[in-house]
Amino acid sequence: MSETEALVLYELDDAGVARITMNRPGASNAQNVAMTYALDEAFMRAAKDNAVRCIILRGAGRNFSAGHDLRDRNHDAVGRDYPLTGVWGDVETQTVEGWMGWEHETYLDACRRWRSIPKPTIAQVQGGCIAGGLMLAWVCDIIVAAEDSVFQDPVVNIGVLGVEYFAHVWELGPRKAKELLFTTESWSAQEAHRMGMVNHVVPGEELSDFVEAMAKKIATKPTLAIKLAKEVINSSVDMQGLQRSMDLAFAYHQLNHADNRLRFGGLLNPHGIPEVVRRKGNLSELVVGDGRDTEN
């Protein structure tokens, strides 16, 4: 088994339910470059297989996903080891254009592609669903969370307005989105359910069985009706402005990166990186900077 295959597990049962499992439990399923491409490969495999009638996205171990992996040295590489999946073009990371292209490739465009798969998708969430982990849950049609789930987008702390797939207003409501982004506070599964972000909250020991039962029920429904229902609902949200506001947020996200490059030599404000992450060391210099500090 190759490293890429090991990072994401894929299985399909006789009921037509595909299970995509992020398999970096030791890193809380943080998204490195290899995992991102492995996820895309798994989603596209499920999308193109007529035997697949429903898709479950889940994370191995205690947490769904801790977000982007700040220790991924591939962020520093000029060349890329994976064929490009998007059409933005040059992903040379030594320029603003290049980094914008790279984040289109690995984050925004990938998430939009997964959201548009004309098959029902369910996010099975437990433990932490942090920052980039939110994007993976939000692209799914249904979110089922264990009672111990915790959600957070703390990236304002590192000098960025929010994660690349900026769906906060639609997932949380405008006022709550402002509060949670401004304060960077986390919210519980129960709060997520009250806001309409999560469909169901269940005890952790019941999570897998609950999601399996739902997926198998959905898998029995007529596929064309499901496809068209999903298309109409997604289009309704898009007509309300989701895609346009996401484009604006993504452009501002890149402005934040450019500002941080001038101030700190890296894409993020290093002062906001959690101490627990700092202690692990080996952080990507492109991400955290070169030691300069012009904040003051």
Q: Return d(Cα 272, Cα 73) in angstroms, integer.
A: 20
Whole-angstrom Cα distance, residue 16 to residue 27?
A: 30
Q: Cβ(155)–Cβ(162) under 8 Å?
A: yes
Whether 86 shows a pLDDT value over 50: the answer reads yes
Mean pLDDT to the nearest integer, 78-106: 77
**Residue 291 confidence (pLDDT) above 90:** no
14 versus 98: the higher-pLDDT residue is 14
pLDDT tier for residue 92 given thresholds of 50, 70 and 90: low
Is 130 part of any domain?
Answer: yes
Q: What is the pLDDT of residue 14?
A: 97
- Give the pLDDT of residue 132: 97
Q: Residue 184 belongs to what domain range?
A: 3-288
Any idea what the CATH number is for the domain that residue 265 is in? 3.90.226.10
Residue 7 counted as domain residue: yes
27-36, 115-124, 264-273: range with highest mean pLDDT: 115-124
Is the pLDDT at 169 greater than 80? The verdict is yes
- Cβ neighbors of 55 (< 8 A, separation 6 or more) are 17, 18, 19, 20, 43, 46, 117, 119, 120, 121, 122
- For residues 95 and 100, what is the distance between their CA atoms, to the nearest angstrom? 9
Confidence (pLDDT) at 5: 52
pLDDT at position 74: 64
Q: Is residue 76 part of a domain?
A: yes
Q: Kindly state whether residue 10 falls inside one of the protein's structural domains.
A: yes
Which residues have a Cβ under 8 Å from the Cβ of 82 and sit 6 or more positions away?
33, 34, 37
pLDDT interval class at 77 (50, 70, 90):
low
Least confident of 100-109, 245-254, 279-288: 279-288
For the residues 252-277, what does the mean pLDDT come to?
90
Instruction: Please state, in angstroms and rounded to a whole number, the distance separating the CA atoms of residues 276 and 155.
Output: 15
Comparison of pLDDT for 185 and 100, the residue scoring more: 185
Note the pLDDT tens digit of each residue in 271-281: 998 887 777 77
In a domain, 240, yes or no: yes
pLDDT class for 247, splitting at 50, 70, 90?
Answer: very high
- What is the model's pLDDT at position 102? 87
The pLDDT of residue 73 is above 70 = no
Residue 177 within a domain: yes
What's the average model confidence in pLDDT over 251-271?
A: 92
Average pLDDT over residues 12-17: 98
Please tell me the pTM assigned to this model.
Answer: 0.93
Residues in the chain, overall count: 296
Mean pLDDT (whole number) for 240-264: 95
Residue 296 lies in a domain: no
pLDDT band (50, 70, 90) for residue 75: low
Complete edge-to-edge strand list for the sheet that includes strand 187-188: 128-130, 150-152, 187-188
| Average pLDDT estimate for 256-262 | 93
pLDDT in tens, 208-235: 999 999 999 999 999 999 999 999 999 9
Q: Is the pLDDT of residue 282 over 80?
A: no
Number of domains making up the chain: 1
Mean pLDDT, residues 82-89:
77
pLDDT: which is higher, 44 or 290:
44
Q: Mean pLDDT over all residues of the chain?
A: 91
Is the Cβ–Cβ distance between 22 and 86 less than 8 Å?
A: no
Question: Residue 294 falls within a domain, yes or no?
Answer: no
